[in-house]
Amino acid sequence: MSHHLDEADCSEALHRVFEYLDGEMGSDDSAKIAAHLAHCAACLQQYDLDTMVKALVKRSCPPESAPTHLRAMIVQRITTIEVRYSD
C-alpha cells in the first residue's frame, strides 16, 4: 500500500482520536485521521476502544450508574487488545 503525503502518523491519529470522535475537527484533518484508521489496525483498535469508552461516559450520568455489563465489556476488550499486542 502506498503512503499519502498528508496522511496522519500513529501518534497524531492517537492524540486526535477523541477530537475526531467529537466531530471537532475540520474536514481536512478528519479525512486524514479517517485515512489513517482505514489501514492501521493498531490505531483502529484504539479508536474502537475510545468509541466504547465515550459511549459509556455519555450513558453514565452520574458515572456511578454505568451499567455493569458495559463496564465488563470494556475491561474484556482491553484485555483482548493487550493479548493481541503481546503476540
Residues at the site binding Zn ion, with contacts judged by CB under 5 A: 10, 40, 43
- Min dist CB 86 to Zn ion, Å, is 18
Closer CB to Zn ion, residue 7 or residue 70? 7
- Min dist CB 62 to Zn ion, Å, is 34
Q: Which amino acid is at 5?
A: L
Q: Which three cell numbers stand for residue 58?
A: 455519555
Longest Cα–Cα distance in the chain: 46
CA distance 79 to 11: 22
Closer CB to Zn ion, residue 17 or residue 43? 43
